[in-house]
Amino acid sequence: MARRKSFAVIGVNNIGIYTTKSLLEKNQSVTLYDNDSEKLNKIIDDELNGAEGVIIDSTNKQALENNGLTQFDGVIVCFENSLETSVVTTLNLIELEIENIIVIAKNERHKKILLAIGVTEQDIVVPGTLTGQVVATKSIFDIESEVQTSDGEFISTKITITEPSICDKTIEENNLNPSKDFNIVQIKRSGKTILPEPNVVLKEGDILMIYAKSNLINDLILKLSGDKDVT
């Protein structure tokens, strides 16, 4: 299990709330920052039990420094609907030399501005684009499996083994050893996580977390879920 980390989530909106919920579900420490005390207190009381709340104007760099933003393992900026607040807050964090910053951007224009002020592309998330990629991927491949992420070239998804010919054989025997184009990240079995070693015997009902190139994912899903024409 990954070590428990501390995160600051700046901005009480849908993205900030769902991000905080997900982090709490993964047993992470979260402090939520916003300048609206009534909204912040209400959401923590109603939905985010376990999170800390701090009233702050994140466009004030001194306020960020005084409230310990430099001590977190990661800071997530969630002002996707307020371009100015997002950019000023992010600039403040950069000037405070905070390294692990993730910024939510509303659109490509917002993303370009963030890139221009020094945020790396891998640290910018455009929710609409990401959702669109996932929906398109599910539609193109016509799959029931849950698509986690898609960057166009690679897909991360969970696949449940239902094909009898796969069961009771090792990963190696099923020709599922990792390559540059495909990898089994982990196996879930009866609530337990199993490392995907070559000698691990696969069982019916195993849930495989797969990371693979887009042009391979459909064949993998069909092979594991029971299409007899796929080998």
Domain ranges of the chain: 6-125, 129-225
Q: Which CATH class is domain 129-225?
A: alpha beta
Within this chain, domains 6-125 and 129-225 share the same CATH topology: no
CB 41 within 8 A of CB 110: no
Average pLDDT for residues 199-223, to the nearest whole number?
Answer: 87
Q: Which of 154, 161, 138, 173 is nearest to 213 (CA)?
A: 154
So what's the architecture of 6-125 in CATH?
Answer: 3-Layer(aba) Sandwich (3.40)
The band of 222, judged by pLDDT with boundaries at 50, 70 and 90, is confident
Instruction: Tally Cβ neighbours within 10 Å of residue 220.
Output: 21
Q: How far is CA 87 from CA 5, 36, 121, 184, in A?
A: 25, 19, 15, 38
Q: pLDDT value at position 221? A: 84
Residue % of the chain over a pLDDT of 90:
51
pLDDT in tens, 159-205: 899 999 999 999 999 999 888 888 898 899 998 889 899 999 999 99
pLDDT in tens, 98-145: 989 999 999 999 999 999 999 998 888 888 666 565 555 555 554 445
